[in-house]
Structure 1
Amino acid sequence: MSLLLKRRSRSETRPIESTEKAKPTEAEAEKPQDRKLEKHTHATRKPHASEQNLNKLGLMPSGLGMGRRKTSAELISEAKMFLGEGPGPAVPLLATGGARLVSTRRPITPRESGRVLYGKVALAGRPPSAFSMRYLQNEKPMTPRQLPALSGSGPATPMPTRNGALLCQSSTETLIELLKQHSGLKDCSDETVQHINGILQELYARVRKQERGCKRGFILGGLYGLVECSSPRVLLAVARVVLALRVTGSNLTGACKLIFKVARNEQHDGLFHEHDVLELLIDGLGHASPLDEPEACIYAYGCIRFLTASSAQDRDDALNRNWIGGDDKPPSEDNQPATLAVAKPAPVCPRKLTGQQTLVSRLARHGAVELMILHLQMLNEAGATKKLQGPPLHTLYQLSAAMRALADVSQQQQRLQLQLACPHLIRAAEVSMGELEVQANVVRTLSVLSEDTDCCETLHNYAARIGLLLGPSCAGGQCSERLLAVLSRLGYMLGNILAKHESARIQYFHNDVAMEYLLNVLEQLNERTSSSVSLLDAQIKLIRVVANMSVNPEVGAALGNVRSLGAVLLEILKKTSGALERKKTPEQQELLHATLGALHNLCFYQDKQPAVQPLAVGSLQSLIDDLSATLAKVLSSCPTSATKVELARVLGNLTRNERARRCFCGAGGLPLMVQQLTKQAAGQDYELRTCAIGVLVNLLGDGEQRGPFLQLRGAELLSLLLRGSLEQEDWFLANIVCQALWNLLIDGQCAANLCQSGSILDEVSDLLADYLDEDRLQSGDNDENDDDENPERDGDLEENDREAETEPDALWEDFALVATDLLERIQNNFDRQQLSQSQSQSQSQSQQSVPHADNDDDKDVFIEEM
């Protein structure tokens, strides 16, 4: 009792915060944490095991002092810190109010084996990928053709040699005549290629100097015979001269086709780094209209797409910035709490990536992005008055694909301000409604842009408008593979937006039409009997929309009473868990985890709903009983540890509801949780152990569950868990175990039975008394400081060290508050038991012999957040 008096006297000297102030705002709560973290950062002592885990997260809690026992909400909110590894992946997954964000992979787009303009896409009236360019000379000349003036005297200019020594001295007419000597040439030697290339370079230089005075028709006629040459250098040189002439119409189209022909082969990419052909191409497109000269735009944007897009098959996986995958393997002892890891980017060829970035930088500097946005606006304006079809529609297809390729590279290092294109791409997706191939390409571009912070900042203002695109997608009732791809990417884009912006969650939920479309699509996908990868992927992405939307307290509370949403999630939970029992696939596993993530967030708010309001048919609130029983069934047959953790998280939120606790225990939930904890008592799955204890705290809040828990030898289990956590100096886990023991000992009959047996409570009392000894804690810290290999420290560090040595571990302080109250309750129970035996003749006196130290000590404790 001396230790209790010592701890209690110190508690009375600390300021006690009022209950009303127990829940500060998020901004206020961060300030004392930051001050405490800054204070501990300079200390060089080795932190305890549990403190090390929090330090890895960069989220070391401040502790609330010894003035009061921390609420369950504050305790379990700290548990969420253990659910990730490092500040990068873990922090974005956390949200206020016990809800958390759900991540997923980027939808995988099948790659074509080579560079093709359309691939397997079948668009009506599409231009051919193979073409003839024998009409370069067909454009009428701007000026009348004139014969070259001949000098009346003097010798004629000698013909230049093949080495090109006299090319600069030759007239333009002479250069054209030299080119005509190679008319119709296809295969040629390197020497011939070099000779022709020299002539074309000289001709290009003259055209650039005399843009207005050159004879365009005459020059184009000389270039006519070289368009069938097999040499890519010659073709690019011809295209440069043609573009330098500022041609339009069919000649501009021919030049774009020449460049496209070279760009189709990935081995020719290096040629585009040797000269300014890309800049000339952008200049040429600047004089073209996607409505009047669509074919030129098609091949030009196809060329840009080829040159800036990677051909690596795993590029989509390498850019999954929004995906955090679960790891079924047990974590190492050095990093017990972490079971989530970021999928590391696959290595990309540095040379290839550098080449792409160089080309993208050149395009950006020359205004390619601004030109693409301008063409996009022109197509949208035309589509607003008349449905796009034919070549303009194909231009939109290639333009959006080129913009997607730019976005892929820009997310590495480039800054192209592609966020300016986001509103126009959304309008393009609306304009192309009914043209699935084109709309799919536009939505693919938007989904990639949604991964970028700046683009997502722009897109979040259009969240509800993007949601409206879901409606017509399933209007026909049947979902093709292409339609599923559109739904998947719309869901991925919305999930990214709702994961980052609070206003977008509220905006989307309050748009009744968008919400109705989302529910309709979820229902239709759930009714399909097939389990194709495309269908599962679309379901994953759309359920993630619900999960990330429900992070907002207002939205999450209201979604609990939305028609059919609970029924859809419950049906997916049953179907997916049953399918995983038969055959485990990654897609089924991810769908199950996404569904559990959505249920986790929705269940958090359901105990706050008034019971008098009418419940919508198929809503989550109307299916609490079925959901509790289903979770118990799935948990009993679940083979993987990662899925068990997700189930325990859902149960941690759901069992705060009294009806849910009753139904869960009625389905055998209490023995199931004891079984899981018995397996994990000495296991390595820290996350599952922590979540399961949190569920147990809630279940023991009901008096009728305490007796069965004792029959299941639950008290011995809690004692074992407490010893293990204290021996590892895991003050956080010990804190939760003490909460469970507190709820158990509230029951007088249970306390009396445990006092009679004596051994369990004696062991718990000894453990608590031992680890509540501050001298023992400080001596351990001093021993660790003695082992420091770097004794040389400046004055500021030494002062911080002395402060750290005199100040107890913050997590230990939080544990000490709960443990002190628990130890006092155990002592009171022992005293009450002794008085009851010594004064058995006066039962009424024995009940009043030991007054309660605190009027709040007999209150149940529930886990507020899981």
Structure 2
Amino acid sequence: MASMERKHEICSPFIPQRNTLRKTSAEIVSEARHSLRVQSTQRPFTPRDGQRQLFGKSSARTDCDNRPPSTFSLHAQNFDAPDSRPGSGTRLSPLDHKPKFPVPCDAEDPFKAFPKPPTDPLEVRRGLAGARARLLRAGSLTTLPPVEGHTDVKERLKPGPGQKQLSAKGLAVTDHTEVRGGPHKPGPRRTASESRIMLPGVDPGVRPTECRAGWRTGLGNGDDTASTEEDAESLVWNNAVAPLLQQLEAVAAGSSEGSMDHLCDLCDSLHGTLAEGDMLGRRCKRRSGILRTLFRLIDFNSVQLNLHIAKLCLALCVSGNNLLNICKLIFKMSRSESNDILFQNNSIIDSLLGVLSSEDVSASGEALLYCVGTLKFLSGNSAILRLLLDKNCLGVAQKLIQRLCIVEDTFFTIAGHIFVQLTATLRNLADHPDSRPLFVSFSILPELCQVLLHHHKDRDICTNISRIYSKLSSYSECRLALAQTPGCYQLFLELLSKHHQKQDLVVRLLFTLGNLTAKSDEARQQLFQCEGCVDTLLQLYDSYQQRNYSPHAPPQKGPLSHSKSTAPLVVSEQEYEDVLVKLVRVLANMCIHPAVGPALANNTACIQLLMETLEMRSVQESEELLVNVAATINNLSFYQEESSVLRHSQLIMAKLMLKLVLSSSMDAMLEATRVYGNMSQSKDVRDFIMQNKVHQFVVTLLDSKSTEMCFSACGVLTNLALDPTNRVSLSLEGTATKLADCLKDLGAGDWQLAGQVCQALWNMVGGGSEKLLDAQEAESLLEILTAYSDQEDALKCTENEDARDFHRACWELEFLPIAQKLIKILQPAVLTA
């Protein structure tokens, strides 16, 4: 009778059943360990470009796409000396404004109160006092000639031959006729500044515009802001800037040794002087003269000098063709890795980031392209990569992305070229650990999804962004930011369908999806619910499986064949297999979700593809792929519905798993053992295992001293011991002794394993077959169980309080109940012996 009762107490098959009750942490961990497992894999390798080019050899762009060149020559003649911005061509509308008269007007004749102009303008030339006064009031100084750039103030006051000494307060009236182009008189010809009309009370160093401003506010005040600024600029120019320019020209004209260093120092001094005088940007009135001098120095073809020139030109806010050529010049220098140290020791990077922040795509698109191309090259240097992060390169990149996404169709092509360089730069920045929080805080990952939406046809952009995602999705904070981006899963599926032949893009998108679904049940469900998700993944699976099996096979027909593609890509067999590894991993992670698993387990195409993979490949050549396939089958075998396609195919699966069990790969053996642990619930599978001597191999795994391997082996043995005939065969292999040794060696450190060992032992001896253990074995096992049943002794080795609570939960739920049952049936046997 007791024997009959014990038969009903045999432990359930080795597979946990889900229930709706609230689980403890130990139960959750136990459930995951028993069956459903997340798969990991290595990130796809991204080789560095051998040469620094705008578009590498793998680029989908051709010369027909108006692709800007990476190589070109630049000389001084390529620059525009005036550097004037072109007019906008916009006609201004008249102002709706009525002038107010400063003096009372006569009602009959409103213009009566105002002075009349002279009847004969020539009287002004004769120096008439009344005409001179009227001239000044009428503001006719607008016709005065400008000030010459390099004239010293003191020289303006020196008299020429036959002239009187000029002062700041007066000028002989006889000079007026010479200003107007009278007959040439003996003596040296006057410069424009010496020939100006000298007005009473006006400093001869003051420019005409300053005179006009002075008279409007009253003569002799001298407190006008504009006048003061222009006068200060003139002083800085004459006393500091002009001498530096003269030195630059003099040193450039010579060919002495060390002149390049001297020129660099002079450029630095010029830059500092202009900055101190607030003459950088477009504020300096004589900037064209400075630029003309700098442009001539470019022909020396010195990298160090050209960097100083470029930095100064950007500080002077060159525009148009000059801005483009300066950016080209910097780009050309950045193509050589030997110049990286010069960029590292020069603030030119700040200037480049300033250009990216301020310039408009429609006006300076090509200049921006070469500017970002330079940053792409420099970001390949680890030292400069750190500098770029410190200089807020990611913040500048985010603003540039937003501006590029809203460009008009006219500039869409150049925006695409810029995006190729920008995304490649971000790809390099993503390598630095300190960049990851910045990618999140600047919301760059969602911004890149918008780029994918706008440029989904551009394979270069899509590939670069997929590389960024594959790098950053391995980290939890970045993975969360990407997962929260609306529509990202549907977008990735559409890109997989559109660019299914581009292996390097496909493998990275699949790797990203595998990361997103690795630890998030919500991500698994959202991906599964996307339109065409399963069809797209299975079509990719079939397409790459056929290509991998036969590399020269034509593209497969089906939903994936709608996109236009070029000639077949030259892809190695290993690269095709890498796609399958990442794709099967996505399936394995997805089917952990209780709504996804049953659907895939009942999908004929999915099960057939998995079995084909097991049939066509060997463990030696495709170890990771077969391990992932076995893990997927193991996860799917958790769902044992009667209508499941997998359930009806599990005997075939069991046969295919033999090659993994008998291989030399520990990972393959482990996954295959897990599959047998789930599928051995079936009587047919248990019979297959016993007939093919697989149980002998499983018993030997107990000697592996690996907790994971012993745990999976115990699961298979638990199910095999359900059949009375199998218990005898297992006993002949010394199974009970090995289980007891496993419990003694590993049980105290893993109470989940200890519980699974006890379940296997219970099924071995709890059905009335306790005589399968001899007296010594029974006594030894009873001693171990008694010692482990003492809570104080069992948990004394755990020092950390959190770990102690977890181990206590596992000990109470997983081990103690079944251990107490074993003690009850072993005690009589030991006493009788």
User: TM-score with structure 1 length normalisation?
Assistant: 0.66
Within the alignment, does 1:559 sit opposite 2:604 as a pair? no
1:537 to 575, 578, 597: 578
Q: Distance in 1 between matches of 2:498 and 2:474?
A: 28
Q: Distance in 2 between matches of 1:689 and 1:182?
A: 82
Q: Percent of counterpart pairs with the same letter?
A: 24
Residue pairs, 1:487-526, within 5 angstroms:
487-526=506-545
Once the 2 structures are TM-superposed, how far is the Cα of residue 488 of structure 1 from its aligned partner? 0.5
Once the 2 structures are TM-superposed, how far is the Cα of residue 501 of structure 1 from its aligned partner? 2.9
Deviations 1:382-435 (A, max 9, x none): 48x68943x332111001111112222254676354651222312322333333
Name the residue aligned to 2:782: 769
1:240 to 311, 315, 336: 311
Name the residue aligned to 2:168: none
Name the residue aligned to 1:137: 80
Name the residue aligned to 1:646: 671
Within the alignment, does 1:359 sit opposite 2:359 as a pair? no
Name the residue aligned to 1:590: 624
- Secondary structure at the residue paired with 1:295? helix
Q: 1:729 to 1:269 in 2, by over 3 A?
A: same
| Residue type at the aligned position of 1:200 | C
Contact 1:243–1:252 (Cα < 8 Å) also in 2 = yes
Once the 2 structures are TM-superposed, how far is the Cα of residue 238 of structure 1 from its aligned partner? 0.6
Q: 1:428 to 1:415 in 2, by over 3 A?
A: closer
Q: Distance in 2 between matches of 1:259 and 1:145?
A: 36
Q: 1:440 to 1:709 in 2, by over 3 A?
A: same
Q: 1:140 to 1:736 in 2, by over 3 A?
A: closer
Q: Distance in 1 between matches of 2:671 and 2:421?
A: 42
Q: Distance in 1 between matches of 2:51 and 2:394?
A: 25
Once the 2 structures are TM-superposed, how far is the Cα of residue 175 of structure 1 from its aligned partner? 3.1
Name the residue aligned to 1:400: 423
Q: Distance in 1 between matches of 2:537 and 2:349?
A: 43
Name the residue aligned to 2:822: 822
Q: Distance in 2 between matches of 1:812 and 1:502?
A: 28
Once the 2 structures are TM-superposed, how far is the Cα of residue 376 of structure 1 from its aligned partner? 2.2
Within the alignment, does 1:306 sit opposite 2:307 as a pair? no
Contact 1:400–1:441 (Cα < 8 Å) also in 2 = yes
Q: 1:602 to 1:183 in 2, by over 3 A?
A: farther
Once the 2 structures are TM-superposed, how far is the Cα of residue 139 of structure 1 from its aligned partner? 5.9
Once the 2 structures are TM-superposed, how far is the Cα of residue 510 of structure 1 from its aligned partner? 1.2
1:623 to 620, 645, 649: 649
| Residue type at the aligned position of 2:650 | I
Once the 2 structures are TM-superposed, how far is the Cα of residue 563 of structure 1 from its aligned partner? 4.4
Contact 1:142–1:216 (Cα < 8 Å) also in 2 = no
Once the 2 structures are TM-superposed, how far is the Cα of residue 201 of structure 1 from its aligned partner? 1.1
Unpaired runs of at least 5, structure 2:
1-15, 87-144, 158-235, 552-571
Once the 2 structures are TM-superposed, how far is the Cα of residue 291 of structure 1 from its aligned partner? 4.2
Residue pairs, 1:363-378, within 5 angstroms:
364=392, 368-378=393-403
| Residue type at the aligned position of 1:407 | A
Contact 1:302–1:398 (Cα < 8 Å) also in 2 = yes
Q: Distance in 2 between matches of 1:762 and 1:25?
A: 42
Q: 1:224 to 1:398 in 2, by over 3 A?
A: same
2:720 to 699, 704, 707: 699
Once the 2 structures are TM-superposed, how far is the Cα of residue 380 of structure 1 from its aligned partner? 3.0
| Residue type at the aligned position of 1:203 | L
- Secondary structure at the residue paired with 1:676? helix
Name the residue aligned to 1:217: 288
Contact 2:779–2:830 (Cα < 8 Å) also in 1 = no
| Residue type at the aligned position of 1:820 | Q
Name the residue aligned to 1:179: 248
Once the 2 structures are TM-superposed, how far is the Cα of residue 235 of structure 1 from its aligned partner? 1.4
- Secondary structure at the residue paired with 1:137? coil
Once the 2 structures are TM-superposed, how far is the Cα of residue 564 of structure 1 from its aligned partner? 1.3
Contact 2:264–2:308 (Cα < 8 Å) also in 1 = yes
- Secondary structure at the residue paired with 1:554? coil
Deviations 1:625-666 (A, max 9, x none): 3222222x22443222221012112332333xx4xx334234
Within the alignment, does 1:108 sit opposite 2:39 as a pair? no
Equivalences, count: 643
Q: 1:441 to 1:773 in 2, by over 3 A?
A: closer
Name the residue aligned to 1:838: none
Name the residue aligned to 1:198: 265
Contact 2:240–2:273 (Cα < 8 Å) also in 1 = no
Q: Distance in 1 between matches of 2:399 and 2:695?
A: 64
Deviations 1:96-135 (A, max 9, x none): x842221111111122234333231442322121222332
2:610 to 562, 569, 573: 569
Once the 2 structures are TM-superposed, how far is the Cα of residue 77 of structure 1 from its aligned partner? 4.4
Q: Distance in 1 between matches of 2:56 and 2:611?
A: 40
Instruction: Report the RMSD for the aligned CA atoms in angstroms.
Output: 4.0
Name the residue aligned to 1:231: 302
Q: 1:270 to 1:639 in 2, by over 3 A?
A: same
Contact 2:83–2:319 (Cα < 8 Å) also in 1 = no
Q: Distance in 1 between matches of 2:576 and 2:826?
A: 56
Q: Distance in 1 between matches of 2:532 and 2:17?
A: 39
Name the residue aligned to 2:739: 721
Within the alignment, does 1:743 sit opposite 2:812 as a pair? no
Q: 1:106 to 1:419 in 2, by over 3 A?
A: farther
Contact 1:117–1:302 (Cα < 8 Å) also in 2 = yes
Q: 1:473 to 1:415 in 2, by over 3 A?
A: closer
Deviations 1:69-101 (A, max 9, x none): xxxx689549x4xxxxxxxxxxxxxxxx84222
Name the residue aligned to 2:356: 285
Deviations 1:289-312 (A, max 9, x none): 3344222122111221222224xx
Q: 1:672 to 1:426 in 2, by over 3 A?
A: farther
| Residue type at the aligned position of 1:626 | I
Within the alignment, does 1:662 sit opposite 2:683 as a pair? yes
Name the residue aligned to 1:442: 465
- Rg: which structure is higher? 2
Once the 2 structures are TM-superposed, how far is the Cα of residue 234 of structure 1 from its aligned partner? 1.0
Q: Distance in 2 between matches of 1:488 and 1:379?
A: 27
Q: Distance in 1 between matches of 2:533 and 2:17?
A: 38
Contact 1:464–1:514 (Cα < 8 Å) also in 2 = no
Q: 1:674 to 1:410 in 2, by over 3 A?
A: closer
Q: 1:513 to 1:291 in 2, by over 3 A?
A: farther
Once the 2 structures are TM-superposed, how far is the Cα of residue 743 of structure 1 from its aligned partner? 1.9
Once the 2 structures are TM-superposed, how far is the Cα of residue 728 of structure 1 from its aligned partner? 6.1
Of residues 496-505 and 144-153 in structure 1, the stretch that sits farther from structure 2 once superposed is 144-153
| Residue type at the aligned position of 2:54 | L
Unpaired runs of at least 5, structure 1:
1-18, 31-60, 62-72, 81-96, 157-166, 311-351, 786-796, 835-866
Q: 1:637 to 1:270 in 2, by over 3 A?
A: same
Higher RCO, Cα 8 Å, sep 6+:
1
- Secondary structure at the residue paired with 1:394? helix
Name the residue aligned to 1:15: none
| Residue type at the aligned position of 1:130 | T
| Residue type at the aligned position of 2:736 | L
| Residue type at the aligned position of 2:46 | T
Q: Distance in 2 between matches of 1:306 and 1:245?
A: 25
Q: Distance in 2 between matches of 1:421 and 1:276?
A: 26
Q: 1:213 to 1:776 in 2, by over 3 A?
A: closer
Name the residue aligned to 1:599: 633
| Residue type at the aligned position of 1:720 | K
Q: Distance in 2 between matches of 1:451 and 1:184?
A: 58
Q: Distance in 2 between matches of 1:139 and 1:637?
A: 80
User: TM-score with structure 2 length normalisation?
Assistant: 0.69
Q: Distance in 2 between matches of 1:456 and 1:776?
A: 43
Contact 1:525–1:539 (Cα < 8 Å) also in 2 = yes
Name the residue aligned to 1:710: 728
